[in-house]
Amino acid sequence: METKNLIEQSKKAREKAYVPYSKFQVGAALLTEDGQVFHGCNIENAGYSMTNCAERTAMFKAVSEGHRKFAAIAVTADTEGPVSPCGACRQVLAEFCSQDMPVYLTNLKGDILETTVGELLPGSFSAEDMEYAERGE
Ligand SMILES: O=c1ccn([C@H]2C[C@H](O)[C@@H](CO)O2)c(=O)[nH]1
Ligand SMILES: [Zn+2]
């Protein structure tokens, strides 16, 4: 799928955002390796900490439908520059995506920052970090 199209999909996803508290709509479009696109929007809650970001909504939808391999993600918000994913979303992306998977951070004005999962979270905590303890040395 073309990058332009994936970014368009993230804008469509953004329209579904449930944001009565922040009024800040975010959309994500996650492309699986087999060519399917999962939309995600941010979903807020009166208990603010229960809010789920657009990126994690897209990721959890895809994983819960059996997808584990991803090719790219686009994220869009109405920001001055390209939107910047929060730390929680960076960690969740690192769990399921390769370090070199492209991430397209965009905004409604059409700015596009192409980065990667590894660049977004260098030194992310991963399963390998637990292996030493598991070996019991
Ligand atoms: O990359 C981001 C940054 C923020 N938010 C959401 C969480 C909350 O609903 C609102 C304000 O933080 O934006 C996302 O969905 N993705
Ligand atoms: Zn987030």
Half-sphere CA count of 109, side-chain side, radius 13 A? 8
Q: How many Å apart are CA 106 and CA 5, to the nearest integer?
A: 13
CATH code reported for the domain at 3-135: 3.40.140.10
Contacts for 20-23 with beta carbons within 8 Å, 24 or more apart? 20/44, 21/46, 21/48
Q: At 11, which amino acid appears? A: K
Ligand 1: distance of its center to the CA of 39 in Å? 15
Distance from the alpha carbon of residue 52 to the mean position of ligand 1, in angstroms: 8
- The residue ranges of every structural domain in the chain are 3-135
Give per-residue pLDDT as tens, 76-108: 999 999 999 999 999 999 999 999 999 999 999
Q: Which of 106, 99, 100 is nearest to 124 (CA)?
A: 99
pLDDT in tens, 32-79: 999 999 999 999 999 999 999 999 999 999 999 999 999 999 999 999
